[in-house]
Amino acid sequence: MKVSNRKRVLVTGGAGFLGSHLCERLLLEGADVLCIDNLYSGTKDNISHLLPNPHFEFQRHDVTFPIYLEVDEIYNLACPASPVHYQRDPVQTTKTSVHGAINMLGLAKRTGARIFQASTSEVYGDPEVHPQTEEYWGRVNPIGIRSCYDEGKRCAETLFFDYRRQHGLGIKVARIFNTYGPRMHPNDGRVVSNFIMQALRGEDITIYGDGSQTRSFCYVDDLIEGFLRLMNSSDDLTGPVNLGNPVEFTIRELAETILEMVGGTSKLVLRPLPHDDPRQRQPNISLAKEHLDWEPKVPLREGLEKTIAYFRTL
C-alpha cells in the first residue's frame, strides 16, 4: 500500500472568492486540500468543479466552533470581506475573525501546522500615511459600522503574534489590498463588481463621493501567487506582508474604464460617500518584492477582461 506524501492543507473560507482560487492552485501544486466554509458569503458554485477531484474535500463548518483534523498547513481565510456581507451580522463578523483565529491557532498548535492569516489593508483604516507600509499602525474607528471587520482583523493579527511569542507557532500574516477577478460575488457591494454589474445591466454607474478617492486593484491570480510564496518562505518571515497592486487608480478612472470595456449607455452618477470610507488605499510592497520576489504581473485591463467575461456568464 502506497502512503501518500502529499501535503495536507486546510483552507477555511475555501468556497469564497479568494478561497476557491487558492484551493484550485493548491491542487495544481499537488496538495490534498480540505476546504471548510459555512457558506455565509461563499458558495458551492465556486468549488463545484473541484468536487470530483479525489484530492479535494469540502466540509460545511463554521470556524467559530473548534474542528479536529490532522493537517500540515492552514490558510485561514474565513470571514465575510465585503461591507454588504460583514455589516449584515456585525457581531458574527467579529466572532468569525476572533474566535476563528483562536480555533485555527489551537489546531495549528496541536498539529504543529504552519498557519497563514488572511488579514486586510483595512487594518490601516483611513490612513494618514501614503502609501501604507507594514510599520504603520493605522487609523481605525473602533466603534464605526466598519469596525466589526477592521478591528476583528486587527485582533486576529494580535492573536497570531501572541501565539508565535507564547507557543513558538509558525505563522504567516498577509495584509490583502483590493483584489478582483472571476468568482467575485455579484452583489458584494465592492467597486469592481458593482461597476461591472451596473454596466452589464445598462444601469447608471454609482460613484460614492466625487470619484477622486483612490484604490489599487490586484488580479486574483497574482494575489494567490503571493499567498504561496509567503507560506513557503523562511520561518523568520512572519509578516505582516502587504500583498496588493501598488498602481493607484481613482474610482472615476475605474468606472470610465469598465464602461468603455463593457459598452452600453450607462451614465456616471455621484452619491454621498459612506461613513468611514478611506480616501486613499495603496500598498507599499517593498517587503514582498525583497523577501518573496513578488509583485503583481496582470495589468488592470487584462484582469478586467477576464472578470467581465465571468460576470457575463451569470
pLDDT single digits (tens) 93-130: 999 999 999 999 999 999 999 999 999 999 999 889 99
Name the residue ranges covered by the structural domains of the chain.
8-179+218-245+282-297
CATH architecture of 8-179+218-245+282-297: 3-Layer(aba) Sandwich (3.40)
Q: How many CB atoms lie within 10 A of CB 58?
A: 19
Question: In terms of DSSP H, where are the helices of 138-271?
Answer: 147-167, 191-201, 220-231, 251-262
What type of residue sits at position 79? C
Residues with active-site annotation: 149
Report residue 227 as a C-alpha cell: 499567498
Phi, psi of 126 (to 5 degrees): -95, 95
Q: How far apart are the first and last CA of the chain?
A: 45
Q: Is the torsion defined by CA of 135, 123, 235, 30 positive or negative?
A: negative
Please report which confidence band the pLDDT of residue 63 belongs to, taking 50, 70 and 90 as the band edges. very high
Q: What pLDDT is stored for residue 214 in this prediction? A: 87
pTM score: 0.95
Please report which confidence band the pLDDT of residue 89 belongs to, taking 50, 70 and 90 as the band edges. very high
